[in-house]
Amino acid sequence: MPVLLSMPASLNYKHLYYFWVVAKEGGISRAAEKLDMAVQTVSAQVRELERNLGYALLKPAGRGLVLTDAGLAAMQQADQIFQLGEDLPVLVRDAASTPSVRLAVGISDGLPKLVVRRLLDSVVAEPNLRLLCHEGEFDELLGDLALHKLDLVFSDRPAPPNPNIKLYSHALGSSAVAWYGTADLLKRVKSTSFPRCMADLPVLLPTVHTAVRVRLDHWFEQLGIRPHIVGEFEDSALLKTFGASGMGVFPAVQWVHEALLANYGVMRLGACDGVSENFFAIGTEKKVQHPLVQRLLQKAG
């Protein structure tokens, strides 16, 4: 069955439009009436389209016309084209009446969400900002960045070297990590000093795909503590939610200490000495940089 995969550069869209009306109206006479044109003119336009494409699009059926297989394929394409055309005036009017500045940001799934909010502080007050946040795995986000689906990616590690993709990694800072838990959970270890009490507490950790997990495992190893891990989470907000429920103590960056106490109702148990989490903004090397990305990097610098 012949299928119209793409349209040649010489395609006359007026011809395609006349064909589309004929197909929708079910015949050339009705289409001519709707278009306020002579039947012969409409018929000639459709024949010209068929000649240009190299396929018959309509065939006789009784006293009328029906679509051929090629005509059905052409009709499906034309439906999309002219539906978009009908929508265009509304989209343009809306864009002109409510202008917006679009910023698409990728967020590595293990990154603390309260930190992301802090990193975006310098742009969230931008008038008419339309912020699109996409959370996902690090490698997938870098792929979307390379395809220009994203303007920037926030992560806990720099982009790896890749000769095929020109990326830059801008350090945004780092924060020390501490342990937090509910008041009821921390009451259980009053008789044991920190950090030795960690051996007696249920522990929640980020999964091994996060950069900080290796540092946390090393911290336990240095202290000779074998933690009782009761949960591992890819999503940092989910980790904190379960921590706030009393399931276990959990690590969090001290950058957001006040917000953590206010939003999750937990208490600080003690510092995770020697462990910090690093934050990076990753972008593509463009000649013309997004103005809000420039602002974010200047603020961090």
pLDDT tens for the chain, 301 residues long, are: 344 444 445 678 889 999 988 888 888 888 888 888 998 998 999 999 989 888 999 888 877 788 999 989 988 888 888 888 877 887 777 667 666 788 999 999 888 888 998 889 888 888 888 899 999 989 899 988 888 889 999 999 999 887 777 888 999 999 999 999 999 998 887 767 899 999 999 999 999 988 899 999 999 999 999 999 999 998 888 999 999 999 999 999 999 999 999 999 999 999 999 999 999 999 887 656 788 888 888 776 5
Per-residue burial over 243-254, b = 16 or more CB atoms within 10 Å of its CB, e = otherwise: bbeebbbbbbbb
C-alpha dihedral (75, 76, 81, 83), degrees to nearest 10 = 100
Rounded CA gap, 136 and 157, in Å?
A: 14
- For each of the domains in the chain, give its residue range(s) and CATH number, in order of start: 13-97 (1.10.10.10), 101-173+280-300 (3.40.190.10), 176-276 (3.40.190.10)
Q: Calculate ∠ Cα 271-215-281, nearest 5°.
A: 95
pTM of the model: 0.63
